[in-house]
Amino acid sequence: MTLVITPLKYLADSNPAWSGLWRGALRHFGLDGRGRLPHPFGEGEVGFGTYFRLLHFKANHRKTLISDEGDRWLGLISSANPHDASCWHHNLALRFDGPAVADLMTTENQVLALAGEAPIDVPALPAEPVSIGILAPALQVAVLTEAGIRDRVLAELQKLRSGDRVRLAMFYLAHRPIVRALIAAHRRGAEVRILLDANHDAFGHRKDGLPNRQVAWELDRAGIAVRWFKTQGEQAHGKWLLIRRADGGGCLVSGSANFTRRNLDGFNLETDLVVTGPAAHSVFQSVGTLFERQWRNEDGIEFSLAYGVFAERRLLKYLRYRFMEFSGWSTF
């Protein structure tokens, strides 16, 4: 097995104020081996340099898997981290085959090139996708990365009209153009329902609700229905958008990307899959049924909570969210 570490230094600066200070001054002081600070995710201690590099807030945030069996290649795009501490989180994954798997490999080869590694060859794959699980030839699939995810999501939201239905489940929702597009779609008559993580917990640490509670306040004031996933220490870590149009079309966007500036504006490495086809197809029906089950607390299980349970209506905290999203001084 070959392990390749993504060279994060080549990614754009999502927190430019800190990255500029680090490159201009702090990195010259040789801080890597100095200091004894608690390890943020486990036992033991780390030096000052570890924390200082963390403040760049850069990541290869993709969660992809490609496997092959002869001429048959399978792709998996997920929101789930293969990580012990993440095993309790709520996530969603899509499995597919056909030419889109070659596209997925191309995106990963670009990261290999960034690391100075040789690309992995992919054979010519069948022109028509083969039915696997919930994905079938009636559907079209496309691999999206970074800003391509943002552009596709905005394009889909801008097309919404009266009678269309939007279902959004998201771990972090903060991206200003997407927030505005959701409100605009609601005002044009689309039915918008949003399920959010309350940003209450992170690996045993208590969080302060940023950014979702501040964005939810804005959405609630606009008349959009918002509920919270009910979590008990875990996170509602899925990131997916489901659209079912009055004309019978369906669209699903799901993968690694939170709807934030860092995830969608070309800072982190991200991968999503977009699936389009008839809204009556089982892939859209399955995800829609999952959402409604959680929204309505079906089967006597309390999956979600009313907006008022975690509502926050504090202007200063809202302004703090806006500054953090704009500047990059945030973990979202």
Q: Is residue 2 part of a domain?
A: no
Does one domain contain both 14 and 95?
A: no
49 and 72 part of one domain: no
What whole-number distance in Å separates Cα of residue 164 and Cα of residue 250? 10
Q: Based on the fold, state whether residues 33 and 102 are members of the same structural domain.
A: no
pTM: 0.93
Peptide bond into 38 cis (omega under 30): no
d(CA 264, CA 267) in angstroms, rounded, equals 7
Task: Judge whether 292 lies within some domain.
Answer: yes
> pLDDT value at position 42?
72
Say if residue 173 is in the same domain as residue 264: yes
Q: Which residue range is the domain that position 24 belongs to?
A: 8-54
The two tokens of residue 260 are 């934030």
Q: Are residues 22 and 156 in the same domain?
A: no
Instruction: Report the C-alpha gap between 12 and 328 in whole angstroms.
Output: 12
Contact 142, 231 (CB under 8 A): no
- How many whole angstroms separate alpha carbon 78 and alpha carbon 278? 22
Rounded CA separation 101/72 (Å): 10
Output DSSP code: residue 123: P
| CA angle centred on 165, ends 221 and 296, rounded to 5° | 75
Q: How many structural domains compose the chain?
A: 2
Within a domain: residue 79? yes
**pLDDT at res. 132:** 46
| Domain-located, residue 59 | no
Residue with tokens 């966007």: 253
Q: What was the pLDDT predicted at 206? A: 80
- At residue 300, the pLDDT reads 94
Q: What is the mean pLDDT of each run of 10 residues along the chain (332 residues)?
A: 94 93 75 69 76 90 92 92 84 93 96 95 66 63 98 99 98 99 99 98 82 98 98 94 98 98 98 97 96 97 98 97 96 92
Q: Are residues 95 and 188 in the same domain?
A: yes
- Do residues 228 and 309 share a domain? yes
> Within this chain, do residues 46 and 150 fall inside the same structural domain, yes or no?
no
Distance CA(96)–CA(125), nearest Å, equals 12
CATH classification of the domain holding 150: 3.30.870.10
Residue 17 sits in the same domain as residue 101? no
183 is a domain residue: yes
Look at residue 130 and tell me if it is in a domain.
yes
